[in-house]
Amino acid sequence: MTELGKPCSDISSFIADGFFLVHTAKCAIRGTTSPDLKVSQFCASLHLRREIECLEPNGLCFLSKNVGLPVCQALLAQWGSPRGVEFGELTSVVVGQKLVQLIVTAWPGRGHERLTKVHLQSLFSRLGMTA
């Protein structure tokens, strides 16, 4: 986080700065390293949706083009969003009664760290969180 201009040195400061990490799928599949998209979408529709609605965040970042993007698209449809979201494109969406800034970016591994950083910087900037 310090590389993105938010000095969070540990979990407590991360939470104190208003950040949350929520696992998309919520449903582990024993013995696998690759998530199943149908399982992720089903579990997100039950668990992740309610967590986001309860947390009422100002911003959301979904990680992964292969799982995060379709899960995000499905959640937007459930929230009645008239439009979808494109990978890497900062979008404003209404969740409940709240306007939320949202981006879908790459999982920051396997060489995608730079892209993830650029996308997160645009989200942070929109949220007024630039250093």
Angle at 113 between CA 42 and CA 44, to 5 degrees: 10
Q: What is the pLDDT of residue 13?
A: 73
- pLDDT under 50 in the chain at which residues? 1-2, 131
How would DSSP label each residue in the chain? -GGGT----SHHHHHHTT-----SS-S--TT-SSPPHHHHHHHIIIIIHHHHHHH--SEEEEE-TTTHHHHHHHHHHHTT-SS---TT--EEEEETTEEEEEEEE--S-TT-HHHHHHHHHHHHHHTT---
Q: What is the pLDDT of residue 123?
A: 92
| In the chain, domain spans | 2-126
Q: What is the pLDDT of residue 130?
A: 67
pLDDT digits (tens, 9 = 90+) for 9-28: 676 776 676 676 666 555 66
pTM for the full model?
Answer: 0.80
